[in-house]
């Protein structure tokens, strides 16, 4: 399974691309968080309207359907960069050096192939919904308030494309680590052991205590 990780950086082109892409991933993850917060507000409005005015929010389920791709997919590349996805590392966790980077390269390559197939399939799904000549450019819509569905369907290939770009950078980093034999490559998540995690948590708490004392 996934653990806490750190991502190193330097002045190389790879690291600069990693940081630039991470900014994009951060904005997408923020949009996903805003979608979660918006759904919470919609729930309050809908429940409040039902209880106090006997009138729930029209199209509440339709808006949930529109927001779900934002919540489900916009943060996948951000999580991949930080090594936060669930993974079984019982075997891989025992590897070191080039053997570890070869295993990581192979698994990342398989994920990239899968993502390219999903990008192709989700883009085809979007194209079946989108039509410049149709009202609101949409060939299909939600059941209640007739929201066009193509924006939600477009989110999927866009988010997967950002994830594919992240995987390409990680393949580049693993390939460079295999070639150089580096123990600490840049632009990839380095899983931290329990002792390192505990030390960083202690440093964070200590820093907060010092800031509180100064305040």
Cβ(187)–Cβ(20) below 8 Å = no
Predicted pLDDT at 2: 47
The per-residue pLDDT string of the chain (215 residues; one tens digit each, 9 = 90 and over) reads 444 568 888 899 999 999 999 999 999 999 999 999 999 999 898 888 888 887 788 888 899 989 999 999 999 999 999 888 887 777 777 888 899 999 999 999 999 999 999 999 999 999 999 998 888 899 988 888 889 999 999 999 999 999 999 999 999 999 999 999 888 899 998 876 656 666 766 766 666 555 555 55
Predicted pLDDT at 183: 86
Per-residue tokens: 114: 């899968």
Per-residue tokens: 68: 């779900």
Per-residue tokens: 178: 């295999």
Please list, in sequence order, all residues whose beta carbon lies within 8 angstroms of the beta carbon of residue 199, skipping any fewer than 6 positions away: none
Predicted pLDDT at 197: 61
Strands (DSSP E) found in the chain: 5-7, 189-191
**Residue 200 dihedral angles phi and psi, to the nearest 5°:** -65, -40
| CA–CA distance, 60 with 42 (Å, rounded to integer) | 7
Please list, in sequence order, all residues whose beta carbon lies within 8 angstroms of the beta carbon of residue 107, skipping any fewer than 6 positions away: 92
Predicted pLDDT at 56: 81
Predicted pLDDT at 142: 85
pTM of the model: 0.85
């Amino acid at each position: 399974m996934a653990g806490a990780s750190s991502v190193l950086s330097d002045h190389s082109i790879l690291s600069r691309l990693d940081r630039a892409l991470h900014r994009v991933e951060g904005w997408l993850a923020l949009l996903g968080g805003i979608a979660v917060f918006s759904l919470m507000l919609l729930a309050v409005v809908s429940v409040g309207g039902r209880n106090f005015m006997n009138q729930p929010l029209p199209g509440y389920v339709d808006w949930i359907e529109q927001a779900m791709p934002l919540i489900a997919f916009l943060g996948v590349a951000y999580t991949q960069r930080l090594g936060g996805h669930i993974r079984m590392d019982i075997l891989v966790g025992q590897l070191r050096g080039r053997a570890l980077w070869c295993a990581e390269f192979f698994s990342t390559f398989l994920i990239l192939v899968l993502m390219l197939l999903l990008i192709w399939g989700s883009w085809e799904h979007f194209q079946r919904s989108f039509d410049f000549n149709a009202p609101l450019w949409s060939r299909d819509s939600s059941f209640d308030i007739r929201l066009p569905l193509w924006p939600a369907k477009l989110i999927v290939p866009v988010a997967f494309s950002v994830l594919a770009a992240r995987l390409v950078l990680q393949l580049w980093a693993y390939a460079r680590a295999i070639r150089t034999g580096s123990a600490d490559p840049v632009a990839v998540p380095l899983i931290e052991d329990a002792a390192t995690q505990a030390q960083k948590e202690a440093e964070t708490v200590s820093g907060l205590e010092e800031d509180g004392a100064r305040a």
